[in-house]
Structures are given as structure tokens and as C-alpha cells.
Amino acid sequence: MILFLALCFVGVAIGGATALVIFWPLALVHIRDRHPQLVSELGASPFFRARAWLWLLRGEYRRTPDPSLSGLATPARVSLFTIIGALLAAWILWLVSYWIGG
């Protein structure tokens, strides 16, 4: 049962990854088109850069007074937190099942 719950958390992480793949590129295109100062801060291709993801996780997009950017970056941030939390929960449940079964 514990491994089933761990697998369910992996499914939640996949759902978060799907949301990230939808909203993060939209936010990056919005940044590219309307905020050139953020483009220089995030780098040339920020989609898979850890620095850009840390920027997103810290919510630094809120410093820019653009409600459209917040509307695109907030779901990307929530989905990134969902991925991290779900994978962490699945890993903890896997460890618990390993300790109980071993």
C-alpha cells in the first residue's frame, strides 16, 4: 500500500511537470517580449537553467509590476513546487517501505 501511495505521488509529479511545460514557456515568451531586463538576468535559454528555476521558486517575478507576468509565472511556480513536493513525498514513502520491508 505504501508503494502504491508513492506511485500516486509520482503521478502527481507528472501532472506538475505537465503544468510546468505549459506555463513556464508562456512566461518565458512574455518575459522575452516585454521585459528585456529580465532576459539578461535569466540568461540566453532559461528553460532548463537552475538559476531561472530558483528565480521562479523565490517568486522574484513579483518585483516586476506586470499582472500578466504574475498570471503566467504563478502557475509555473506552483507546478514546480508540486513536482518537488510530490517527488520528495514519493521518495520518503519508498524509504519507509524499504525500512518496513527490510
Entry pTM: 0.90
Residue 101 reports pLDDT greater than 90: no
pLDDT of 24: 97
Residue 102 reports pLDDT greater than 60: no
Lookup result for grid cell 517575478: 61
Q: Kindly report, residue by residue over 47-82, the tens digit of the pLDDT.
A: 989 999 999 999 999 999 999 999 999 999 999 999
Q: In angstroms, what is the C-alpha Rg of the chain?
A: 17
Q: Name residue 57's amino acid.
A: L
- Cα four-point dihedral sign 68, 84, 7, 1: negative
Q: Kindly report, residue by residue over 28-52, the tens digit of the pLDDT.
A: 999 999 999 999 889 888 898 999 9
